[in-house]
């Protein structure tokens, strides 16, 4: 009779753990360069994003630069009440949500459409040229683009000259001095700057679509727009959903750089948003506790929007961040 050796379960589990630890160590050795890169990113994230969270408590204190955070006297919810009772809160919230919603409704689908149309180009050289031209403005700061827009939109700017020559207007218009034009300028310039760059993600997702699907659709007699609608769009639905959730969560971010370089005293009624309001009232006047309180309210609302958008998209198409 063959003798059988039974290994105790305790020793078997220990051997399994040892083997897993050894394999994990070998994997770390093989990927040490990648691990160092990832570790650097984690250290940066901890230093600049997690450690500063401690400073949020100044929203509940009467802090000034002479005192330390711990020695500053407690103010409770005073700064939050002051913010919600501010007379300018109404138009600040209106401008923030108004411009952000326009960017979401108009600016979000345009890069998707642009990527779909760009994918249909057959000339590789022309396609690369269009891509390069479209995402070039992304690499220019809003300080530069703001100066360009200010020049173009001036009384003697190129836009007024073209419109006068075509007969659309009879006298020059100072666009940045008119509050009624400001939202249009902000939304259109934001689309102009970020169109090509935003489309890169969708183009990358489109390259992952199997060519066999398009070949099968061609055999069935589908045209370009039919393949675009019934194949390409459904296949990149997950990417669109994730980016939409992130866009909704950032709806209170009004792009401070853009607004700051384009706003002036004449269009302040339409240009003052939460970010510029915090800068003017909180930072410029040294009211750091008040600025932190407003920023905390903004972050809480953004978190609620993130959870809401994530929950809705998960129910509608079973795609979500978490």
CA 163 – CA 171 distance, rounded (Å): 9
List the beta bridge partners of residue 176: none
- pLDDT for res 32: 84
State residue 284's pLDDT score. 83
Q: Which residues sit opposite 61 in a β-bridge?
A: 74
SS3 content of the chain, % helix, strand, coil (to 5): 75, 0, 25
Task: Single out the residue of 244, 226, 225 nearest to residue 109, CA to CA.
Answer: 244
pLDDT of residue 169: 87
DSSP for 271-290, written as a single string: H--HHHHIIIIIITTT-HHH
Q: What confidence tens digit (pLDDT) does each residue in 9-61 have? A: 555 566 677 677 888 888 888 888 888 888 998 999 999 989 988 889 999 99
CATH of domain 87-317: 1.10.3720.10
Closest CA to 228 of 242, 244, 240, 217: 217
Query: Which class for 242: exposed (0-12), middle (13-18), buried (19 or more C-beta within 10 A)?
Result: middle
Given a contact cutoff of 8 angstroms between Cβ atoms, the answer to whether 214 and 231 are in contact is yes
Structure pTM?
0.82
pLDDT digits (tens, 9 = 90+) for 192-214: 999 999 999 999 999 888 889 88
Nearest alpha-carbon partner for 185 in 148, 212, 156: 148
pLDDT given at position 145:
92
pLDDT at 71: 87
Q: Which residues of 142-164 are buried (b: 16+ CB within 10 A; e: fewer)?
A: beebbeebeeebbeebebbeeee
CA dist 154 and 138 (Å) reads 23
Instruction: State the Cα–Cα distance between residues 263 and 261, nearest whole angstrom.
Output: 6
* Geometric angle at alpha carbon 137, from 135 and 138, rounded to 5°: 70
Rounded to whole angstroms, how far apart are CA atoms 4 and 55? 65
Q: Whole-angstrom Cα distance, residue 220 to residue 231?
A: 13
The predicted pLDDT at position 183 comes to: 94
Residues, the chain: 322
Tokens 């020793």 sit at which residue?
11
Q: Which residue has the tokens 């960017």?
A: 103
Domain with CATH 1.10.3720.10 in the chain: 87-317
Bin 133: left if φ > 0, else alpha if -120 < ψ < 50, else beta. Answer: alpha
Residue 193 confidence (pLDDT): 93
Query: Within 10 Å of residue 202's Cβ, how many Cβ atoms?
Result: 22
pLDDT by 10-residue block (mean), the chain, 322 residues: 50 67 83 87 92 90 86 91 89 92 93 92 89 91 92 91 91 91 94 92 90 88 88 91 90 89 91 90 86 91 91 85 80
* Residues contacting 99, CB < 8 A, separation 6+: 183, 186, 187, 254, 273
């Amino acid at each position: 009779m063959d003798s059988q050796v039974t290994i105790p379960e305790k020793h078997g589990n220990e051997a399994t753990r040892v083997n897993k630890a050894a394999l994990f160590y070998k994997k770390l050795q093989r990927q040490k360069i990648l691990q160092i890169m990832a570790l650097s990113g984690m250290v940066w994230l901890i230093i600049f994003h997690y450690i500063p969270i401690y400073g949020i408590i100044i929203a509940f204190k009467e802090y000034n630069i002479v005192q330390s955070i711990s020695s500053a006297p407690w103010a409770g919810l005073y700064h939050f009440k002051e913010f919600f009772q501010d007379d300018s809160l109404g138009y600040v919230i209106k401008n923030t949500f108004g411009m952000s919603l326009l960017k979401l409704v108009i600016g979000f689908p345009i890069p998707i459409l642009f990527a779909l149309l760009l994918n249909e180009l057959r000339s590789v050289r022309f396609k690369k040229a269009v891509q390069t031209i479209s995402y070039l403005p992304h690499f220019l700061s809003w300080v530069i683009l703001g100066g360009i827009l200010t020049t173009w939109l001036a009384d003697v700017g190129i836009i007024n000259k073209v419109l006068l020559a075509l007969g659309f207007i009879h006298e020059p218009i100072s666009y940045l001095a008119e509050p009624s034009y400001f939202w249009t300028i902000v939304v259109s310039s934001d689309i102009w700057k970020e169109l090509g760059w935003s489309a890169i993600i969708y183009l990358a997702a489109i390259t992952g679509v199997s060519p066999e699907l398009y070949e099968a659709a061609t055999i069935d007699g589908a045209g370009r727009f039919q393949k675009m609608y019934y194949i390409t769009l459904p296949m990149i639905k997950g990417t669109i959903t994730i980016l939409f959730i992130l866009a909704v969560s950032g709806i209170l971010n009004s792009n401070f750089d853009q607004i700051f370089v384009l706003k002036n005293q004449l269009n302040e009624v339409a240009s003052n948003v939460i970010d510029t309001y915090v800068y003017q009232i909180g930072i410029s006047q040294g009211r750091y506790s008040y600025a932190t309180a407003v920023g905390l309210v903004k972050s809480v609302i953004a978190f609620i929007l993130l959870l809401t958008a994530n929950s809705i998209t998960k129910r509608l198409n079973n795609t979500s961040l978490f």
